[in-house]
Structure formats: structure tokens, C-alpha cells
Amino acid sequence: MRGRDVKHISLTLLASLFGGGKGSHALDETTWQAVMGLPLFDGLLAAEQVRLRELATQLLADKAFSGAGGIEVDDGMATAIAAFAVLPVLNIGYDWYEGWREIVVYPGEFIHDGEHMDEAGIVHHVRDVRSGEAMQGGPMVLSWEDVEHSGQGEGFNVVIHEFAHKLDMMNGDANGRPPLHSGMVPADWAREFQSAYDDLCRRVDGGEDTVIDPYATESPAEFFAVLSEYFFEAPELLQLGCPAVYGLLASFYRQDPLVRRRSI
């Protein structure tokens, strides 16, 4: 889930509304070239751009895009979303995105009605404003207005955020601990992420200004998703704020955006 302060659209999100299906959108060349010019993609080698395009084309063929709230998704919109979406799996493979089929796009933020169980086992009704939502085994929902704010190298990318949740869900509910590659030590991941999360929570609770968006303190799952945004969009800020976590994310995503930016 991702939120930001833009206009609200009061629409009820019903996952059962949307079924599965295959993609019907083609890669839009004009949009592709425009998106590749965004700061997010600075420093990509020619071979990496080719592989990114192949992955985006695969996602467009694999996922069905549905408009909601009066919006109609065209090839250009689908292409922009696909470009952002496949950057995290550039070096780990498209199979990380298998097992679900639909991307639903709203014009802007939407109202989510759902339930939440607290630590005492009590179920609460939750009604909040969201710019994105990733559902376990189900569709992903995105605010197009927030997609348009992504890719600027400022630490915000709703598409990467929600796709990070999908990666996290590969081994169950989102909890900030996605399945790790061979050679990565789960204990190291748990220790460094917990330490960085606790430190950020402490500083946010103390009223400090932080390099990382305070929204990351919502939960370990949101921490992983927000830090994934920073990893790709503003790697220098993540390296400054959470250097150990930056190294773990570089191992997980098998990329080093900071080195890539410095090569420009």
C-alpha cells in the first residue's frame, strides 16, 4: 500500500470485481522513449535497456490492465507502468511476477474498505485513502496520478512500491522478508532490516526530520517497499540513511543503482 497527499477519489475497492486475463496492450514506442529519459533510468547500459524492454513487453502480454473510476487504460499508460515495474526484476527474472494477472488503474487515490486484525486478535474495519494496493494472489491497484509522479529520482515510485509488495508476498503475507537468493543469509537480513526499522521508528516518533519517508514506519512490509523505492529512485539517500540495508537490497535485486548513477 502507498499513500501521498494528492486529491482523493472516494471509490470502494472490491478485489472480487476483477477477474484474471491476459494482456492486450502493446508497447508504445513514444511513451517508452519518454520514460527511458526519466532520472530513474539514468546510467542503464544499452544491453540493460534491451533486456528491460523485453521484460516490459513480457509484462504487457502477461498482465491485463483494467481502468476504474472512469479511466480507460491505453497503450501509453500500460507501457509507463510496465517500464517502472520491470526495473526491480531486471537481473532476477520475470518469474518473480508470476501467479497473478490483473493491474487495475484508478485516475487518482481511492478509498479502500477492508478489515485488519490487531495483535490481540480483534478485527477492525479499516477505511483509508490509498494510491496503490497489492493483494496476495490477486490484482494490483494503482493511482495513475501517482504513477505520473514516479520516476523523477526523488524517492517516490508507487509502481515499484506495489511490485515490491508482490515480491515480498512470494513466500506468504507481506512482512518485509521476501524469499532470498542462494548465498544470502536470512539472519543478516532480519537483523539489519529490524535495526534500521527500529531506528527510523524511534526518530520519527521523536519528531526528527528523516531522510527516509516516515511512511516506512507503518510496518516492516511498508519499510521494505518504501526502501525499495529509494533504492531505485534515490539510491544516494538510502545509502546515507540506511547503508547496511542498501547493501542487502543490492544483493537482493542484483543491481547497484548508486554505481550506475555515478557512471554517468
Q: Note whether residue 3 is domain-resident.
A: no
The set of residues, in sequence order, having a beta carbon less than 8 Å from that of 76 and lying 6+ positions away, is: 28, 30, 31
Confidence at 110, pLDDT banded by 50, 70, 90:
low
User: Is 111 domain-assigned?
Assistant: yes
* Position 264 pLDDT exceeds 60: yes
pLDDT at residue 107 tops 50: yes
The domain containing residue 206 runs over which residues?
8-262
Number of domains making up the chain = 1
Q: Is residue 116 domain-resident?
A: yes
Q: pTM for this structure?
A: 0.87
- Adjacent-strand bridge partners of 103: 65, 140
Report the pLDDT averaged over residues 27-47: 97
Confidence of residue 126 (pLDDT cuts 50, 70, 90): low
Other beta carbons within 10 Å of 66:
18
Report the pLDDT value the prediction gives residue 28, as an integer from 0 to 100. Answer: 98
Number of other CB atoms surrounding residue 168 within 10 Å: 23
Residue 109 lies in a domain: yes
- Backbone phi, then psi, for 77, in 5-degree steps? -65, -45
What does the pLDDT read at residue 8?
40
Asked, for residue 2, whether it belongs to a domain, the answer is no
pLDDT at position 132, please?
A: 66
pLDDT at 17 > cutoff 50: no
CA distance linking residue 139 with residue 114, whole number of Å:
15
Sort residue 155 into left (φ over 0), alpha (ψ -120 to 50) or beta.
left
Mean pLDDT (whole number) for 4-28: 55
Q: Is residue 59, in this structure, part of any structural domain at all?
A: yes
Q: Is the pLDDT of residue 263 over 90?
A: no
Q: Is the pLDDT of residue 4 over 90?
A: no
pLDDT digits (tens, 9 = 90+) for 142-167: 999 999 999 999 999 999 999 999 99
Given the C-alpha cell 510496465, which residue does it identify? 82
- Kindly indicate the confidence band of residue 18, based on its pLDDT and cuts at 50, 70 and 90: very low
pLDDT at 6: 39
Residue 38 lies in a domain: yes
| pLDDT above 90 as % of the chain | 77
Taking only the tens place, the pLDDT of each residue in 187-240 is: 999 999 999 999 999 999 999 999 999 999 999 999 999 999 999 999 999 999
- Is residue 119 very low, low, confident or very high in pLDDT (cuts 50, 70, 90)? low
Cell matching residue 216: 516506512
* CATH code, 118: 3.40.390.10
- Residue 47 maps to a domain: yes
Task: Average the pLDDT over 38-65 and give the result.
Answer: 97
